């Protein structure tokens, strides 16, 4: 049941979109089609991802006020009330970012799975109005075979993952003179791992699977970097 929903709603539409793009791109360059499809999906998810990043950035802006509440010595009930009033005043929902990320995960994973499974435009997986492309060129820009392992693309995938983590909103600093809570320590630890460890994981996985997966990661990460820089500039302009 779930596999049928997965194929019907996510996998097949993305695979057919990729087949269509390959058929209209001069030379049938599948690498360029992978980049375009990734960008199109990211654009469709832009309202969700944009709101998620904005929510995290807003939480960091409110961090000094939240730290003052924690350091006030008030009871937990009073701190909760003041925190709620602060969120209400600034129209911020601390859980909205997490919810929006969860909504995006199945779509992003389905796009990743299209490239992970291997690009094979069999007639049984294509809609009746989508034809198997006449020209299918697996050599990205004429010299990188995206069906094979590519050290160049794998390294670029790792670098792009580092940049994406570098520009993402950093965890809020704890109150001055106060100890870090478990949540703050965990957030800082996760941020450091995403920045310094996960890029190597991404590079290793991208190299182990195929150039198509590496291209997906590179495009997705660079898109996120641009989005994060735009939001950061927007937030600073408000100050």
In tens, the pLDDT along 116-174 reads: 776 777 767 888 888 888 888 999 988 899 888 899 999 999 999 999 888 876 655 55
Cα separation, 55 vs 58, whole angstroms: 5
Q: Does residue 34 register a pLDDT over 80?
A: yes
> DSSP strand E in the chain: where?
139-140, 144-145
Q: What pLDDT sits at residue 152?
A: 93
User: How many of the other CB atoms lie within 10 Å of CB of 46?
Assistant: 12
In tens, the pLDDT along 119-135 reads: 777 767 888 888 888 88
Mean pLDDT is lowest, of 30-34, 91-95, 207-211, 231-235, for 91-95
Q: Does residue 113 register a pLDDT over 70?
A: yes
Task: Give the phi and the psi of residue 72 in degrees, each rounded to 5.
Answer: -75, -20
pTM score of the predicted model: 0.74
The band of 188, judged by pLDDT with boundaries at 50, 70 and 90, is: low
Cα separation, 17 vs 34, whole angstroms: 10
In whole angstroms, what separates CA 181 from the centre of its chain? 27
């Amino acid at each position: 049941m779930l596999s049928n929903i997965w194929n019907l709603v996510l996998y097949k539409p993305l695979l057919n979109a990729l087949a269509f793009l390959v058929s209209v791109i001069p030379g049938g360059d599948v690498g360029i089609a992978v980049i375009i499809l990734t960008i199109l999906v990211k654009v469709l998810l832009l309202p969700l991802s944009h709101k998620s990043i904005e929510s995290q950035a807003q939480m960091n802006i409110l961090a000094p006020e939240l730290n003052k509440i924690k350091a006030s010595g008030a009871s937990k009930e009073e701190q909760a009330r003041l925190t709620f009033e602060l969120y209400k005043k600034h129209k911020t929902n601390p859980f909205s970012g997490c919810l929006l990320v969860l909504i995006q995960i199945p779509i992003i994973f389905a796009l990743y799975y299209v490239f992970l499974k291997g690009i094979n435009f069999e007639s049984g997986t294509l809609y009746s109005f989508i034809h198997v492309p006449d020209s299918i060129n697996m050599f990205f820009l004429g010299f990188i075979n995206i069906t094979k392992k590519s050290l160049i693309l794998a390294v670029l995938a790792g670098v792009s993952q580092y940049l994406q983590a570098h520009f993402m909103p950093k965890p809020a600093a704890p109150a001055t003179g106060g100890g870090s809570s478990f949540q703050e320590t965990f957030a800082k630890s996760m941020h450091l791992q995403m920045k310094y460890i996960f890029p190597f994981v991404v590079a290793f996985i991208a190299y182990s699977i195929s150039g198509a997966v590496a291209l997906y990661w590179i495009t997705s990460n660079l898109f996120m970097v641009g989005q994060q820089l735009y939001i950061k500039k927007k937030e600073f302009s408000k100050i």
